[in-house]
Amino acid sequence: MQGVRSRGGLVVAHGAPPLPVGADAPLRREEREALEESTLAPGATGARGAGVRARPEEPDEYRTCFERDRDRIVHSKAFRRLAGKTQVFVYPADHQRTRLTHALEVAQVATAVARATRLNVALTEAIALGHDCGHGPGGHASEPVFDAVLPGGFHHAPWGADVVLAPLNLCTETLDGIRGHSWSRPAPRTPEGAVVSWADRIAYCAHDLEDAIATGIVEPRDLPADIAECAGRTRSRQLAYFVRALVDSIAAHGVVAMAAEPAAALGALRAFNYERIYLRPEAIAQGRAVTRVLDALVAHLSGNPELLADRAAEQDATEAAVRYVSGMTDRFAFDAAVRLLDWPPDDLPRGIDVR
């Protein structure tokens, strides 16, 4: 189908008459920034005057600087590769979360909070979508491998902002939020970044539990009563409870924080997940299998830099190897181990099926 020509020489996608909108001048970026300023909370991050990038660019005619960042992240290879990277289970089966679906769920939680509290939704979404682009294959088990060989150490948050997403030339506010989203890092400088930090924890606590229930690792009834009584036993109930708690606390106190009771429930839910999901013996064994494979890949590629076609001549071979391996999906990394290292397939990390 090539579309249908209608009155005035225009082409419509369907055979029906085009739906009226009303001809009017489009809202240009400057006008939208002014409208944004009239609706944002006093402490929110406005787009007007922002948009500082490492390499100066002309502003877009229609989109704000943070909307451009969000769009660049969505269209990047780093973002698409998250579809093949571990969230909790390697080789994720149908319906199990990946880093990509995790990022989308974090963005949903974060933007829900940002809209309700009159923060900058576009900046919040950009940070949320890009926050885990620095993760390697196999989940958090990859970090000690890279940390051990890089002189400055490795953490997925600054690695994502300063290495993986650097070619996108994102705004300083977006990079700051990505760099500081983890609670173990220095706090973000914007309230939007702080919201993403909370949204990340809220989202993964709820959806990792749901995935674990689907595999039979835990049962809904295993959740302690004190958590279930306030936050419920399902993902939807938990998200609703924690999102409302964060919104209510921000509205009441004017800072990005959560009241003590729901914060304690979130902490208890996270502790339960660590005990029953992340640190169970099978998960530790899976992490060790990931570590062995990635450690061998980094060592092999560091010693054979000719295999890294995109490495700049002046670039350190070990750093180039980490850049390459950390960008791999689970499948690509484990296939590379078999292909390059003759790795026994039976020694590769294994996923777990939904029951």
pLDDT in tens, 206-255: 999 999 999 999 999 999 999 999 999 999 999 999 999 999 999 999 99
Average pLDDT value over all residues in the chain: 94
Question: Average of pLDDT values for 19-38?
Answer: 89
- Give yes or no for residue 89 having a pLDDT over 70: yes
Cα radius of gyration (the chain): 23
By percentage, how much of the chain surpasses pLDDT 90?
A: 86
pLDDT at 81: 97
The residues near 343 (Cβ < 8 Å, ≥ 6 apart) are 293, 296, 334, 337
Average the pLDDT over each of 19-28, 82-91, 120-129, 310-319 and give the range with the smallest value.
310-319
- Extract the tokens encoding 59: 């502003």
Sorting pLDDT into bands at 50, 70 and 90, what band is 22? Answer: confident
Supply the pLDDT for residue 11: 84
Residue 1 pLDDT greater than 60, yes or no: no
Say if CB 39 and CB 47 are below 8 A apart: no
Mean pLDDT of 325-353: 94
Name the strand (E) or helix (H) holding 289.
Answer: helix 281-303
Reported as a pLDDT band with limits 50, 70 and 90, residue 57 is very high
Model confidence at 12, pLDDT cuts 50, 70, 90, reads confident
The predicted structure's pLDDT at residue 231 = 97
Question: What is the predicted pLDDT for the residue at 337?
Answer: 97
Give the pLDDT mean for 140-146.
96
Domain range annotation of the chain: 60-293+330-347
Kindly report, residue by residue over 105-137, the tens digit of the pLDDT.
Answer: 999 999 999 999 999 999 999 999 999 999 999
H or E segment and range at residue 59: none
Is 60-293+330-347 assigned to CATH 1.10.3210.10? yes
Please give the pLDDT value at position 122.
98
Mean pLDDT confidence for 257-284: 97
State the pLDDT at residue 271.
Answer: 98
Greater pLDDT, 258 or 312: 258
Give the pLDDT score at 19: 79
Cβ atoms of 82 and 106 within 8 Å: the answer is no
Please list, residue by residue across 125-154, b when 16 or more beta carbons sit within 10 angstroms of its beta carbon and e when fewer do: bbbbbbbbbbbbbbbebbbebbeebeeeeb
Query: So what's the pLDDT on residue 220?
Result: 96
Task: Please tell me whether residue 239 adopts helix, strand or coil conformation.
Answer: helix
Look up residue 27 and give its DSSP letter: -
How high is the pLDDT of residue 313? Answer: 62
Q: Where are the alpha helices (DSSP H) in 219-280?
A: 225-231, 235-253, 260-273
Least confident of 75-84, 90-99, 288-297: 90-99
What is the predicted pLDDT for the residue at 4? 67
- Average pLDDT over every residue of 284-296: 96
> Mean pLDDT over residues 16-25, rounded?
79
Say what the pLDDT of residue 9 is: 79
pTM score above 0.85: yes
Q: What is the mean pLDDT of residues 330-334?
A: 96
Q: Which residues pair with 4 in a beta bridge?
A: 12
pLDDT, residue 93, reads 83
| pLDDT of amino acid 352 | 84
- pLDDT at residue 85 is higher than 70: yes
Query: Is the predicted pLDDT of residue 320 greater than 70, yes or no?
Result: yes
